[in-house]
Structures are given as structure tokens and as C-alpha cells.
Structure 1
Amino acid sequence: MTAPQPRYRRALAIPAGMAMATALAFLPNTSASAAPAAGSVPAAADAGSLSYVVNVRPGHRVPSRVERAIGEAGGTIVTSYDQIGVVVVHSSNPGFAAAVRAVPGVQSAGATRTAPLPAQSTGDLGAPKVLGADEIAAAEAAEGQDPLEPLQWDLPAIKADRAHEKSLGSSEVTVAVLDTGVDDTHPDIAPNFDRAGSVDCASGKPDTTDGAWRPGAAESPHGTHVAGEIAAAKNGVGMTGVAPGVKVSGIKVSNPDGFFYTEAVVCGFVWAAEHGADVTNNSYYTDPWYFNCTADPDQKALVEAITRASRYAERKGAVNVAAAGNENYDLAADEITDPVSPNDSTPAERVVDPSECYDIPTQLPGVVTVASTGAKGLKSSFSNYGRGVVDIAAPGGDSTRYQTPAPPATSGLILGTLPGGKWGYMAGTSMASPHVAGVAALIKSTHPYAPPALVKALLYAQADAVPCTDPYDIDADGKVDAVCEGPENRNGFYGWGMADALDAVTR
């Protein structure tokens, strides 16, 4: 089995017939451009500055002694989220974090990156497989289907096609897409787009400029693809989302180079919490560390900041859904070799204990962790797994060589919307997560007063149990590619099972 390329995460472009192609570089880098977007980096930022989070007591203003200490240590406060006690700071003092950690009232502090502001791109932009005009023309939709729906094998895999006969979901429900930005002008997204709930959080501070949530011309289409998977309108155009009647908002949390830094993710969760999001989708990991080890004071502060933000969003009513990752890691193993961290400077191979080192937000308390399946219903060749870590499974695609869909679908990847009114295929746990986010939105539509804990309980209870695939030899080379542990209704490959959209609208 060809190993996934470890430097990339969440979204894979896998041409038919190949075991694993170049992954979409939307995490470490989605653009060759080093120019920051408006509002993403303060114009006065020192070229040698780093960004930090300083965690203080939640629910209060930043204590004056902490403010003074930040200034005395060479820091400038960019913004503060008093609700959760997270302060975003820029400083060119390499001893800044150590200095403020000693200040009474500071609970933790750490650098959110290892490369100076602005981060420098370290790779090339990957690309999805764009659907050609001939493929669009060849799709033959049945009555009641959108034109490209016959190509979406993933909808019947979770019974979404049958669910749509009962309900498309409520326009009172909103899914916030924390990602690389969403093109709200796309004809499949525009009817369901929530402009008031959308923002650019890349700098760690909300930029509400009209359209700031859209991806730039050289930036990744990833967020637009995810948004369409969730809520592409059933409007006689293009494809159909899992929940085509709900709203979707775009919260841009990646910078122009494709890095998802802690301050941006914190901003995204808080914005979603305060603008009525019922579900958040998180198809990324927080850069620059694949795993954040709490024994390290910097990484500990990042875990604390995003934990506070995600829990705040849940307290405000949002179900947080996240992708499990694309490295075929067993996240319940005793140790994992991480060769890609930090991904914004010089990575160094390290062995981590996943019980103390966390992929965030994927492994945070309360987050719904989603593994990916292919067109045959098996764990995708690349999908991370782990008993007690993976909560649920959903279609994320796989190489057609491994899992071929039944006709009329032609690709084992997942169809989604792309900027500029296009459609195309991508694969990854990035694509599995929005399927679960869509099902959660349908549950919320059916039970509008259900709190997040109940929505999650229903999501798991309604999932169709899937037994372990044993042995798991996805490429049929005679070697086991991953080992699944656990019973039919709660195992390391599929968690509680396959998400069920039909139960979401009928139970």
C-alpha cells in the first residue's frame, strides 16, 4: 500500500487508478503567494515577530498587570477574547512567552507558529479534479434529482437521497464552515449562504469586510468544496448537498499560504458561537504541530486556547464536527511518529504519545471525530482511525482502484462545489466530516430545540453499525494495512457506524 504523504492533511486529490496522489496542500500551504490578505497581518508587524496566545481567567477583562507585563515583554495585543480568556499578541522578543508565563494571572502562554509573520509558503498548491463539460453533459439525472446527483454515490451511502424525500433541512439551521474560505457566489451555494454569519478570521481578529470570507484567486478551493457537500441547494443546478435546505456560513481561518494558526481557529469558534451556528465543520488541523504535546509549554497553551474556544461554541449551542486525518494513523496507539512538525519551518521527526499529544481540534473533548469511508463502505485507505477516538464514519472517498462506485457514478472521490461556479472531485476525511455536519444539521432541523449533547447522542444512536474490516488489506497485496479493534457498534474504524441521514429526518 502506498503511504499517504505525511506533510499534507485532510483533502486528497486521487486520480483514478492511483493508490495515492499528491494531497491538496491546503494545510501547510495552499498558495505560492506570500502576500497577506487585507486584514490578515497588521501592516506594522515586525518582520521577526511571532504570534502568541496568552490564556488568562475567562469572563473578565485582561488584568491590567497582565497588559503591562505583555508590553514590558515586548508584546502588542492584537485582540482579546474575554469570554474565554484568550489574548492574541504579536512580539519579536524570543523570550516573550517565558516572560509572561511568570506573571500572576497568566495561566499559559505560547507561540502559535515557528515562522515569523507573515508565514512563508513551503510547497505547491494541490488541485482537485475539476469536472469537465463533457462529464457534466453526460450525467443523466432522474426526476427530482439535480443534474450531477447521479455522480454522487456518497448520498445514497448515508441515505441522504431518501432523506430528501422527507425533508431538505430547515433554513433556520446554520452550519459554519471553518476553512479556507467559501465562494458564496457559486450558484449551488448562494441560495443557502448566511452572509451575516461569515467572516475572515485569518489574522486572529474578525475582518467583516464584505466578501472577506471568500478564497483568493490563488488560495485553496477546499472550503468551497466542503460548503457544497453540506448544503448545495436542490435547485436544478449542479449537485445536491447532504442538507440542501439549511444555511451555510463561511469562516475563513487559514491565511493566504494555507496555514491554520491557533489565533484564527479561536476567532472562528468564537465568531460561530456568537453568530448562531448550530454546527461547525472543521476539516483541518491547527498548524504548525500535527500533534500538540501538553508537556511543551507553547503547545500546551495552544491546546488550552482552542479547547476553550470549542467548548464555548458548544455552550452556545453548536455541535463541533472534525475530520480524523489522512495519514492512516492509529490515534489510539501507544505512540505515533510525527515527521511533519512544525510544518511552517523545519520539520523534525518525533515520536509522540497520542494520550498526551493532541491533534486539535480533532481530539478535543466534545468534538465529533469523523473517519472516512470509500464507495464500498470500507475505511478509506488514508483515513486515521482509533478505538475510543473515532466517533462516526461517513463517505470521504478513496482511490477508484481500491473502492469503485456503482454506475452511474464514475469516480470514487467526492463531488463538491469549486470557486467560479465549477464542480470537482476531492477525497479525504475533509470530505467525510461535512457529511456528518450535514446529518447533524438535519437532526437539528428535526429537533430544533435539541442542545448539542442531544444532537450528538442522536447522531451516534442513529448511525448504522459497521463491523470491523478484518483483515484490512485495502490494496490486496497480502499485507494488513491497519488493524481495527472493537465491537460492531463502537470500533476504531467506524466508531458508532455510518452516519444515517434518513433517520435524522424521521426519528
Structure 2
Amino acid sequence: MAHLGSRRTRVLTLPVGLALTASLGFLPTSAASAAPSDGLPTAAVSTDGPKLSYVVNTTPVHSTGVVRRAIAAAGGTIVTSHDRIGVIVVHSSNPDFAKTIRNTPGVESAGATRTAPLRSVATTEEGSTELLTAEEAAKAAAAAGPGQEPLEPNQWDMRAIQADEASKINDGSASVTVGVIDTGVDDTHEDLKANFSREQSANCVGGVADTTEGAWRPYTDGSDHGTHVAGTIAAARNGIGVTGVAPGVKVAGIKVSEPGTSLFYTEAVVCGFVWAAEHGIEVTNNSYYVDPWYFNCQDDPDQKALLDALTRATKYAERKGVLNVAAAGNENYDLASHEILDPSSPNDTTPGPRTVDPHKCFDIPTQLPGVVTVSATGVKGFKSYYSSFGLGVADVSAPGGDRWQIPATPDANGRVLSTVLNGQYGYKQGTSMATPHVAGVAALLKSTHPKATPAQLQELLKAQAVNPGCPSKVYNSAGQLVDATTCKGDSKVNGYYGHGVVNALNAVK
């Protein structure tokens, strides 16, 4: 999943301000901001720094007008204000903007969402997809049985969670929508367009939702990541290509990736969760981590602000009936440990190695409260060699692919086959690929139990999962079978699989 990954634990304690946010709520006004300065003149401030994007998180007991005036006085321009959660997105070239605004009454936290200046860049392709060849497609079609999609013989992942059997009972309800918060979804793909919800789709890059026709699609020559994810969730049973876990539900594209980089910044992701909350989406799929910090440490004021803003956004979505599902990550980290080497942060300028405690520094959104954390497995049922894990962190597991675990399928490819750009199909592996299997099963559960709350859906996910217990062996990154000494727990809950591998058939019974 390239940089695209995510993880989660339940040890995160909400700061006092966020606890107030959850219990009291913020102003019941629209998300549109007032004039940045409220008509007041601004004092001279430095503008010789790089133009950065910031989030300013307000307390629920102060007027946002006071904060808006302070933002303008500090050289900030308001991009948008999510008043229901007290998060304001600001641009400023004042190098002291964050430091200044943090001292304003009514501001709980504030920080830059990036370390690189705002800029326009050319688009690039991730280059991590292996396209299905015509020969492989022909072999699969020849092996397809009655009622199967032409490429379904190559979908070992669907059989691993009994999605093929579940489809005979319930494909999922068209009244349930999964929002794919990602690099965009190509709704013109023949296997996606029947199940795509345009009304629930948007481009949130920059922090403001754009619903212009096609704005939710990937950039020209951009990443196929979100399109691959969408196909795993809900590719239609239409006699074409592949099938999704829940081919009867809807998918929406919520694009949050910066052009040319596939970086997912806080202002865009906050917009994505708020959009999902306010547009009737029942499940979100989050196969990424929020850039530029792999882990966001509470003792760093900028990183704490990002953590605060995204906690508010995910909790708001949850209160609105959204279950958020996120990937555990591809670095083989034990997220239950107290010491992890993070060599990749910040990833938008020059990263430097740092040691973090994932109980104090959080990968978001996967480590946020209420978010379902997903680890990955291969065709043999082993944890995928790359998948991060952790006892008390991983909630459930699902097929994400593993190049060392090879299926006896026509293509003999251990990765996950799904929809990609230009009407094609391709293979990817990662916890990014495991997560949409869980989102799809969650959508089936919501279809079966339409009145279930997000918390109830999460418990149902855990209850229907099948836990094989800790294995004795696991593949390492070199393809060698080694002792699975890092797996802690038992056949009820363990660090590799959480409560177990999701099972679509159990979900629809």
C-alpha cells in the first residue's frame, strides 16, 4: 500500500477538551466560514515564511468569532471552518502563526498540517500495481464455473472469507454506502459504475469538498489505489471481471490525496470524515495514514493538533452513524510494544529516524478511538509478512495478499486482484487491500442489521470473525518460514488476527 497504511490501539485517552467536544458538541452552524477577519483590520505580521496549511482546534465554550479575529491578526486566512467539531483550516505565511494562535483564548490546539510549503505539482503514478494479462484473464475465464464472474477463479481472497457463499444469501443492500477515503475512485469502470454513488462522492483535497462532476476520480495518470479498494468492496456481479465482498451495496469516492504525491494531509482527511458523516455514509474505508508524520506525538504541539482535529472528525462521523475501518500498516510493527523506530517522518520533506512509543505517539486514523484496525493475511492464513499487528491493537484481520503465500489459482498470484484504472484489473498487496474486505463485511452486517450502531457493528465484526490462534510459523520479508514468536494472545484474541479473520458468510446468516 505504498505509504498508504494505518493502525490503531485503544490506549488513547481523549484530552479534556475533546471529552467536552464529544459530550457538549460545538456550534450548530454550517461548515462554511465567516469572513476571515470578520471585517476587522489586522496588525502587521511577518509573511516571510513558507505558506503552510494549519488546523486550529477551538474549545466549545468560546465564540469562534474571537478565534477568527485572532487568526486574521496573526496573518492567517481561513479556508473553511467545521464549526460542528470546532476545527478551522487556515493558510498562513507567518512562521510564528501556530505559536501565536495557541496563546489565544478559545484555542485548544493548533499546528501545521505539513512541513513542506503549499504547492502545485505534476501528477505521478504509484507504480505498485501488476496488471492482469490477457493470458491470465483467459485462464481464469476458462476455469470459471456457473454463476461465477470471469475473473473470480483468481479471487482466492473472496473464497478465504466465504464471500462467494455469502453472495448466495445476501449481496448487501443498496441502501448501505461505503465511503472510500482515498486517492479517488474511477466510477467509469464497468465493474464499479452500477454501484457508485455520485451524490455521496466528493474531492476533499485542500479541506473543502468539491462536488464538481468527476472531482472524486483519480488525477490524470494518478494512483489506482482507491479504485482497487472500491472493487474489493463492491465490484458488481454483472458477468464482467471480478466481484466485491458486498456486490449489492454502494460505494462513494472521497478523494483526499494531494496531486502528484499521494500524500494525505489532515485538512483533507478531516473534510472526508465530515463529508461522510453528513451525507448518509454508513462505513468508511481508510487504507492510509495521515501525512506527514507516521506517528503523531502528543508532546509535539503541531502533531497534537493533527491528532485532536482527526479525533474530533472520526468521533463526529461515529456519532452520525459511521463505522470507520482502517489499515494496520505494512511495516511489520508491533503496535502493542513501547518502542518503534520510525525512519520515515516527516515524509513531505527530509525524514529523520526517531524512536516513538505507540502508546503516546499515534498512527492516525487507525489508532483513534472507535476505529476498526485491520491486519492482513495471505492465502495460507498466515499473517502477511509485512503486516503490522499488536495484541489489543488489531481488531480483526482479512486477506491482504502475500507474495510468499501462493494460491492454487489459474494465475498463481498471492496478491489481491481488483479493479484499476482504464477499465483494467490488477494485483496489489497490503493492509490497504485487507481493509476493504472488512469494510465490505461491515456493509453486509449493516445490510443484515440496519439499525445497528457503529459500536454494535464493531462488536458484530468481532463476533463473526474466525480466529485460528497464533501460528507456530510465519513468513519473514525474505520468504523464510520462521518461528512466530511475536504473536501474543490465544485463539480468542491475539496480536496477529485480533478477534479473527472476517467471514462474510457468518455476517449474512
CA RMSD of aligned residues (A): 2.0
Q: 2:230 aligns with which of 222, 227, 231?
A: 227
Deviations 1:51-88 (A, max 9, x none): 00000135x89622211110111100000100100000
Q: Which residue of 1 aligns with 2:94?
A: 93
2:380 counterpart residue number: 376
- Residue 468 of structure 1 corresponds to which residue in structure 2? 470
Aligned partners of 1:80, 1:416: CA distance in 2, in Å?
A: 37
Letter aligned with residue 10 of structure 1: G
Q: Is 1:125 matched with 2:129?
A: no
Q: What is the CA-CA distance between 1:144 and the residue it aligns to?
A: 0.6
Deviations 1:196-243 (A, max 9, x none): 000000111111111000001221100000000000000000000000
Residues 1:427 and 1:46: Cα distance change in structure 2 (over 3 Å)? farther
Cα distance change, pair 46–178 in 1 and its aligned pair in 2 (3 A)? farther
Aligned to 1:31: none
Q: CA deviation at 1:127?
A: 3.0
Which of 304, 308, 316 is the equivalent residue of 1:300? Answer: 304
> Displacement, 1:420?
1.2
412 and 482 in structure 1: CA distance in 2 versus 1, 3 angstrom threshold: farther
Unaligned 5+ runs, structure 2: 7-46
The one-character-per-residue Cα deviations of 1:84-117 (angstroms, maximum 9, x if unpaired) are 0000000011110010000000000000000000
Q: How does 1:70-149 map to 2 (within 5 A)?
A: 70-118=71-119, 125-139=126-140, 140-149=143-152
Q: Which amino acid aligns with 1:108?
A: S
| Partner-residue secondary structure (3-state), 2:270 | helix
Contact 2:125 2:221 in 1 (8 A): no
Aligned to 2:153: 150
Q: Distance in 2 between matches of 1:504 and 1:479?
A: 33
| CA deviation string 1:98-155 (max 9, x = no partner) | 1000000000000000000027689973230011122112212111111000000000
Matched residue SS, 1:80: strand
Does the 8 A contact of 2:329 with 2:388 survive in 1? yes
2: distance between equivalents of 1:367 and 1:192?
Answer: 25
Task: Tell me if structure 1 keeps the 8 A contact 2:472–2:484.
Answer: no
Q: Structure 1's 47 and 154: CA in aligned 2 closer, same or farther, altered over 3 A?
A: farther
**Which one of 178, 183, 186 corresponds to residue 180 of structure 1?**
183
The equivalences for 1:30-49 within 5 A come to 48-49=50-51
CA contact (8 A) 1:62 1:85 kept: no
Whether the 8 Å CA contact 1:234–1:244 is kept in 2: the answer is yes
What code does the residue aligned with 1:86 have?
V
Which residue of structure 2 lines up, in the alignment, with residue 272 of structure 1? 276
Pick the aligned partner of 1:450 from 442, 448, 452.
Answer: 452
Distance change >3 Å, CA 46–CA 184, structure 1 → 2: farther
Say yes or no: does 1:200 pair with 2:203: yes
What amino acid does structure 2 have at the position aligned with 1:203?
G
For residue 77 of structure 1, give the secondary structure of its aligned residue in structure 2: strand
Which aligned pairs between 1:47-66 and structure 2 lie closer than 5 A?
Answer: 48-58=50-60, 63-66=64-67
Q: CA deviation at 1:358?
A: 0.3
Aligned residue for 2:33? none
The aligned residue for residue 36 of structure 1 is none
Deviation string 1:309-356 (CA, Å, 9 cap, x unpaired) is 001111111110000000001011111000000000010100001000
8 Å contact 2:374–2:398 — kept in the other structure?
yes
The separation in 1 between residues aligned to 2:411 and 2:148, in whole angstroms, is 14
What CA distance in whole angstroms lies between the structure 2 residues aligned with 1:123 and 1:345? 17
Give yes or no for the alignment of 1:489 onto 2:484.
no
Q: Structure 1 residues 403 and 388, CA, compared in 2 at 3 Å: closer, same or farther?
A: same
Show the counterpart of 2:262: 258
Q: 1:69/1:47 Cα in 2 relative to 1: closer, same or farther (>3 Å)?
A: closer
Q: Percent identity?
A: 60
Q: Which moved more, 1:476-485 or 1:490-499?
A: 476-485
CA displacement, residues 426-460 of structure 1 (integer Å, 9 cap, x when unaligned): 00000000000000000000011111111111110
Q: Indicate the SS of the match to 1:90.
A: strand
Between the aligned partners of 1:135 and 1:122, the Cα distance in structure 2 is 30
The one-character-per-residue Cα deviations of 1:352-406 (angstroms, maximum 9, x if unpaired) are 010000000010000000000001010000000000000000000011xx21112
The answer to whether the 8 Å contact 2:177/2:251 transfers is yes
Determine the structure 1 residue equivalent to 2:41: none
SS across alignment from 1:196: helix
CA contact (8 A) 2:375 2:396 kept: yes
- Looking at structure 2, the residues matched to 469 and 306 of structure 1 have their Cα atoms a distance apart, in angstroms, of 35
Whether contact under 8 Å (1:253, 1:268) holds in the other structure is yes
Q: Secondary structure at the match of 1:311?
A: helix
- Partners of 2:213 and 2:124 in 1: CA distance: 30
Give the number of aligned pairs.
465
In structure 1, distance between residues paired with 2:480 and 2:57:
50
Alpha-carbon distance between aligned partners in 2 of 1:89 and 1:459, rounded to the nearest angstrom: 38
* 2:182 aligned partner, one-letter code: D
CA contact (8 A) 1:47 1:116 kept: no
Measured after TM superposition, the shift of residue 10 of structure 1 is 3.4
Aligned partner of 2:3 in structure 1 is 8
Instruction: Quote the Cα distance in structure 1 between the aligned partners of 2:310 and 2:219.
Output: 26
Query: Contact 1:128/1:424 (CA < 8 Å) preserved in 2?
Result: yes
Counterparts of 2:396 and 2:306 in 1: how far apart (Å)? 26
CA distance in 2, matches of 1:231, 1:482: 36
Amino acid at match of 1:75: G
Task: For 1:135, give the aligned amino acid.
Answer: E
Give the counterpart letter for 1:118 in structure 2. Answer: R
In structure 1, the gaps of 5 or more residues are 12-44
Give the equivalent residue in structure 2 for 1:22: none
In the alignment, which residue of structure 2 is the partner of 1:16?
Answer: none
In structure 1, what residue type is equivalent to 2:3? Answer: Y
Whole-angstrom distance in 2 between the partners of 1:103 and 1:195:
41
Q: Report if aligned partners of 1:470, 1:483 keep a CA contact under 8 Å in 2.
A: no
Change beyond 3 A, Cα 1:394–1:100: same
CA contact (8 A) 2:3 2:289 kept: no
Seen in structure 2, the aligned counterparts of structure 1 residues 482 and 350 have a Cα distance that, compared at 3 Å, is farther
Partner secondary structure for residue 336 of structure 2: coil
Q: Is the 8 A contact 1:229 1:435 kept in 2?
A: yes
Rounded Cα–Cα distance in structure 1 between residues aligned with 2:357 and 2:196: 41
> 2:347, 2:69 → 1: CA distance?
32
Q: Deviations over 1:288-325 (max 9, x none)?
A: 00000000000000001001000111111111000000
